[in-house]
Structure 1
Amino acid sequence: MSDAARTLFLVCYDVCDNKLRRRVQKYLMAYRVGGQKSFFECWLTAAELREVRRTLADLLDPSEDRAHVFQLDPRMRRDMLGRATEPVTDVFLIV
């Protein structure tokens, strides 16, 4: 993956401390295009992925918390149940 190309990832976390959980959520909201609660779909460049991994490693307590980053195939069909909505993936604004 080049630093310019974006790839779809699912970032999910389980954080015990409420204050830290809000901090992690606020941090990841900057990258998300979809998801809810502690599961976020994020289109990330290689550099952004490194930054997310580094920041989560710094924030989380490895004895109590955990985070997972899964690379997704954007070509696969999504099965959505309940009030699920398709995330916006066709427009990116680069500032």
Structure 2
Amino acid sequence: MNDVARTLYLVCYDICEPKRLRRVHRYLMGYKVGGQKSFFECWLTAAELREVRNTLAELLALSEDRAHIFQLDPRMRRDMLGRATQPVTDVFLIV
């Protein structure tokens, strides 16, 4: 995978302790482009993905907490229910 190409990932977590939960939430807010609560859509380069994996491994209590990172295909059709809206897919810049 090219380090400058971005891929869409779904990062989700279940954390038992409120202090760790806040730390992980705050950390992932820097990468998210969509999502809510403990599910975040993130466009990541290969280097950013490695950084997210390593940082989550440090922030989590691996015997109690869990995190999942799923690679998504942005070409797939989205099924939405309720008050869901299409995510904004305009070009964006992460500084």
TM-score by length of 1: 0.94
Matches within 5 A, 1:18-57: 18-57=18-57
Instruction: Name the counterpart of 1:62.
Output: 62
Instruction: Name the counterpart of 2:14.
Output: 14
Q: Which runs of 5+ in 1 are unaligned?
A: none
- Distance in 2, Cα, partners of 1:17 & 1:69: 20
1:88 deviates by 2.2
RMSD: 1.0
Q: How many residues align?
A: 95
- Distance in 1, Cα, partners of 2:79 & 2:12: 18
Instruction: Name the counterpart of 1:85.
Output: 85
TM-score by length of 2: 0.94
Q: Percent identity?
A: 81
